[in-house]
A and B are shown apart, each in its own frame.
Chain A
Amino acid sequence: MSKMSTVQGRIVTFLLTLWLVSLLTFVVFQVIPGNPAQVILGADALPEQVAALEKELGLDQPLPQRYLHWVGGVLRGEFGHSLRYRQPVRGLMVASLKVTLPVAGLAFVFIVLLGIPLGLTVGKYHLQKRGVMFSVVTQLGTAVPSFWMGILMMLAFAKLFRFFTPGAFVPWEEDWLAALASLIPPALAVALPKVAVLTRYVSTAYVEEKQAEYIRTAYGKGLAEKEVLYTHLLKNILIPVVTVLGLMTGDILGGSIIVEKVFALPGIGRLLVEAISFRDFPLIQGITLYLAGVVVFLNLLVDFLYRMFDPRIRWSR
């Protein structure tokens, strides 16, 4: 650890991971059994069609050259052309990311805003009956997949709260408020199971931390409970909370991909699933690389946040 925990070391690891992710994303699509052009076009394609597509995909060039060409494009923000839509991959991705990223972002906000207060409350009553019951509920919450949570919410909206039906996504340009509103149910579906996880973490950390002397001192000074909880205690459990939230980012993004299907949102998950069924390899590669890249970047960010929140974890020189 010590060797790699310098700022430079961490950034080298980050770049190395990004490079390997790009290599993996590229190589996986080269081990397709048979000729990729033939696979994409189907068995009854004419040889001329296959040859033309091979040329379009650059399959007539050697492998390293194709990789460099692809990565070079990615570095300039060009992910190649979609085979199905006959459009640049980048434009398609940007359009659908306008749906997926807000869902993931909203889900993250919900997790923090609900999970931390809930966790503190549960921790407070840890030894009482309410706490025990709550921990059973949170344990159950961790077992619920986000897409089924979405299905349950659809059902609840349709049967119980008839005033609002989650459904068609309104484009941002048309009515940004309506667009935001239509993203709240999917974001909640992604968030709720994770709220349970965060609640568990925060409550455990709370129970461990409240024995500490500084808490007694704070109470002894005559501070209000709210102040003790949210300024003194929260600061000290921030490190485990940031760790858990960091580990969750991948799950949030991965959950959003599947939840989009439940709510029929035109996001990156739907784009990816369609691309897979149409064997639109440039599009699949672009989306996969982008999403993995985001996760790698967020991990780096979490690592830097640690150092910000806890001066005890210093960068070694």
Chain B
Amino acid sequence: MKTKVSLSLVIGAALVGCFLLMLVVSFFYTPFAVNEMRSAERFLPPGRPYLLGTDNFGRDIFSRIMKGTQTAFFVGTLSVLFGMALGISLGALGGYFGGWTDRILTQLGTTIQAFPGVLFALMIVAVWGPGTFNTIVALSITAFPGFMRITRSGFIQIKEYSFVEAAQTIGVSPLKIMLRHILPNLLPSLLVAASNGFAGALLAEAGLSYLGLGVQPPEPSWGRMLNEAQGYLLRAPWYSLAPGIVLVLAVLGFNLLSDGLRDLLDPKQ
């Protein structure tokens, strides 16, 4: 058998790798202090020493983008993890036991997915107020139906296989069957969905922060930077361009990685 490493996988992995590198480096080093304001050096165009220019407070945009990686990955990782944990547990329950449990859980997922885009997140923020923690809670809830659906259909399919029936016959507990026998078969598709979901979380966080309802200042976030940049669109176009390009590259990276993983892991191809 030949493994199929596609161009998507290579580019995706390279982009994600660059962002992981930037994430790690940002903990130890940024060219300038992230929140240091220099009123004499406002709106400097990209060049030296400010690689991507400065913003309306004379802060170094590149340093803030680096630091923003922490926020993006923090929100993205936690909301995908929580969403996945919830989605897998509920999807496994529904798929394995079927019947009313399944119907109720599926209906729950359909209900959550009725809220378009960031609307559910906006509702959560309206009640509990904006902030990083509430953004994570909101995005986890938005993300779980997708993971639930994949897990559920996988469980429905695999629970009919003879190795599951064999395990049931010799009296293995349902929990053990779910965790040890069925779930490992679904890991490839869940991994693909996780990479895709991470891209979705990055976009959602940026959208919320752009509306001013996600991550709050002075914490640097790409979406928040775009929000602040818009007032100076003509005076400092680079301020609107740089965080946007970085966001798009990150989303692109995770989408390509997801595509590439699908090609690689899908046994049908």
Interface residues of A (CB under 8 A from B): 13, 16-17, 20-21, 24-25, 28-29, 31-33, 139-140, 142-145, 147-148, 151-152, 154-155, 158-159, 249-251, 253-255, 257-258, 261-262, 272-273, 275-277, 279, 281, 284, 288, 291-293, 295-296, 299
Contact = CB atoms under 8 A, between A and B. Distances in A.
Contact of A143 (B211, B234, B255): B255
A26 B234 CA distance: 43
Interface string B232-269: 01100100110010011101100110010000000000
Nearest to B208: A258
A302 to B, nearest CB: 13
Given A140-B248, A148-B244, A258-B207, A159 B123 contact: no
B49 to A, nearest CB: 25
B233 A154 contact: yes
B170 interface: no
B210 A261 contact: yes
Contacts of B234: 155, 158-159
A258 B117 contact: yes
Contacts of A249: 116
A251 B116 contact: yes
A293 B116 CA distance: 10
B216 interface: no
Contacts of A32: 127-128
Given A17-B107, A288-B123, 10 more contacts: A139-B259, A143-B199, A144-B248, A151-B233, A250-B117, A258-B207, A276-B213, A291-B115, A292-B119, A295-B114
A21 B111 CA distance: 6
Given A28-B123, A32-B127, A151-B244, A250 B116 contact: yes
Given A262-B230, A279-B126, A145 B116 contact: no
Interface residues of B, number: 44
A159 B237 contact: yes
A145 B122 contact: no
5 contacts: A20-B107, A29-B127, A151-B233, A257-B116, A281-B126
B150 interface: no
A295 B252 contact: no
B212 interface: yes
B206 interface: yes
Contacts of A143: 199, 248-249, 251-252, 255
A189 to B, nearest CB: 13
B240 A151 contact: yes
Contact of A253 (B8, B117, B213, B240): B117
Closest 4 CB pairs of A and B: A254-B117, A250-B116, A143-B252, A254-B116
A25 B114 contact: no
A144 B117 CA distance: 15
Nearest to A251: B117
Interface in B101-132: 107-108, 110-119, 122-128
Contact of B207 (A16, A147, A159, A281): A147
Contact of A292 (B115, B207, B249, B255): B115
Given A25-B123, A151-B226, A151-B240, A288 B212 contact: no
B44 interface: no
Contacts of B206: 145
Nearest to A148: B244
Interface string B182-221: 0000000000000000010001001100111100000000
A289 B233 CA distance: 34
A133 to B, nearest CB: 12
A16 B107 contact: yes
Nearest to A4: B103
B199 A257 contact: no
Contacts of B256: 139
Interface in B32-63: none
